[in-house]
Amino acid sequence: MTEIRVRFAPSPTGALHLGGARTAIYNWLFARSTGGKFLLRIEDTDTRRSRTEYVEQIYNSLKWLGLNWDEEPVFQSQRLIAYQQAVRKLLDQGRAYSCFCTPQELEERRSQSGEYKYDGKCRSLGREQVSANFDAGKPAAVRFKIESGVTEWNDLVYDNIRVNHSEIDDFVIQRSNGIPTYQLAVVVDDIYMKISHVIRGEDHISNTPKQILLYQALGEKVPEFAHLPLLMGTDGKRLSKRHGATGVDEYKALGYPSFAVFNYLALLGWVPKDGNEILRPQELIRQFKLSDIARKSAIFDMKKFDWVSNEHIKRTGNEEIYTQILPILFANNLVSAEPDSAMRQYILKFIGLMKSRLRTFRQFADLGSYFFKDPENYEEKAVRKNWKDRDVNKRMEILLEKLKTIEDFSGTAIETAVREIAEKLEISAGKLIHPVRLAVSGYGVGPGIFELLAVIGKERVIRRIEYALKTLPL
């Protein structure tokens, strides 16, 4: 059996977006699930728009997702001679020809005929006329000659696809400046890289018959093709900035776990047979099959994405989360760069309390800062609801005195104290629980209150209640 070799081939004209990342993920999963190779090619022949910083960004995004490639990346900008050699071979075989039509001439003829396809004017030029044109200094593109017939292939997602050659014109394979077009470059590169399977977006289906014809004209084996359904927003339109962040680096900056981003993108067009949607990469490798990819467009739903991310965080060990959030806590001036043993244990308890409620690593700092510093303000909605008058202050003063007497400041002891006072005052426990949460955290909701108070500790809890008694109601 031929070695399975797939490639991901981004253009460094922008940051790696979610659609490209999903294509890379499917290529990587297919390679890893079959014992094949996952390769990377940088398609940078567009020198005007390609940027070195985007190459680095693509590298970093792929590495962050865990998509390691198996050989040195191939750069198209370094392979111009190979493309020109392929063009010369096609010219010598009579499978391609020089076209001297200027863009202006092409536009005029299209306007007159109403046909967008190339009319074949230069196709029948004799050698003498071609030589004369070159001698006169006329620039020439090179077009591939399409003969009558049909090209078909068995797509690994869409099954049999058949295209009549009457739908394809003599397309350009090399521009007049000597730079190859996409159609030629990818074929030459895939031959060079020994690619066995081309897995890419369905927007490339129209390119495939042209590329198959080039493989055949160059005397090379045609790879297998699999075209992936496009990513859409919940409004049914192609995913774009209007739907929110679309770059992988943006989700990294927002603090989403890389394995959650990987997992959710893998589910956009493919569903595991066992129905389990929360999977780490190794589990995805075990279940992944190209034949299971759906044909309909995949919908990127931010709510579903957040659910997947939250599920991952809930299932991730506290120690693993610790390594992820420590730099974030440090960047927000909540902890030192190297916490001592006591602080480390405190952070691990903090993680255990908070992780079931969060969808990103950044939220540990954004929504959990009160574990490390006293609240600077209080959620106004929660104040209006839970600390709206001075009667709350009277109840909280009684609770404060009781909390001061607790020696074993455990969740059980705190709960007992709160419920005893509520019973004595003939009020619901909630009339104490909600104000004390507000005083200690600044928020109206959060982790279980008794565990929360126990973790934060007696000294902090008493200090914060005393400050709230002086400050609230607002």
Just list the catalytic residues: 241
Give 338-350 as a DSSP string.
S--HHHHHHHHHH
Residue 415, token pair as written in the block: 């709960």
The separation between CA 10 and the C-alpha centre of its own chain, rounded to angstroms, equals: 14
Burial of 381: CB neighbours in 10 Å, binned 0-12, 13-18, 19+: exposed
**What are the start-end ranges of the H helices in 316-370?**
318-331, 341-354, 362-366
User: Cβ distance 55 to 286 under 8 Å?
Assistant: no
C-alpha distances out from residue 381 to 364, 377, 386, 438, 441, Å = 22, 12, 9, 11, 14
Count the neighbouring beta carbons within 10 Å of the beta carbon of residue 194: 14
With CA atoms as reference, report the closest residue to 462 among 409, 416, 419.
Answer: 409
Rounded Cα distance, 185 and 79, in Å: 9
- Is the bond leading into 10 cis (omega within 30 degrees of zero)? no
Q: Tokens 């989360």 correspond to what residue?
A: 321
- The structure tokens 């004369």 sit at 132
Amino acid (1-letter code) at residue 453: L
Q: 246, 17 in Cβ contact below 8 A?
A: yes
The answer to whether the CB of 203 falls within 8 A of the CB of 15 is no
Specify the DSSP element, H or E, that contains 401.
helix 390-404
> DSSP label at 271?
-
Cβ pair 42, 8 in contact under 8 A: no
R_g over Cα of the chain: 32
* Alpha carbons 124 and 38: distance in angstroms, whole number: 43
User: Among candidates 51, 24, 56, which has minimal Cα distance to 40?
Assistant: 24
Distance CA 351, CA 463 (A): 23
Taking the CA of residue 70 as centre, how many other CA atoms within 13 Å lie in the half-sphere pointing to its CB?
15
| Range 276-282 contact pairs with CB under 8 angstroms and sequence separation of 24 or more | 277/308, 278/308, 278/311, 278/312, 278/315, 281/66
**Alpha carbon distance 264, 252 (integer Å):** 14
Helix spans in 218-337 (H): 248-254, 258-266, 281-287, 302-315, 318-331
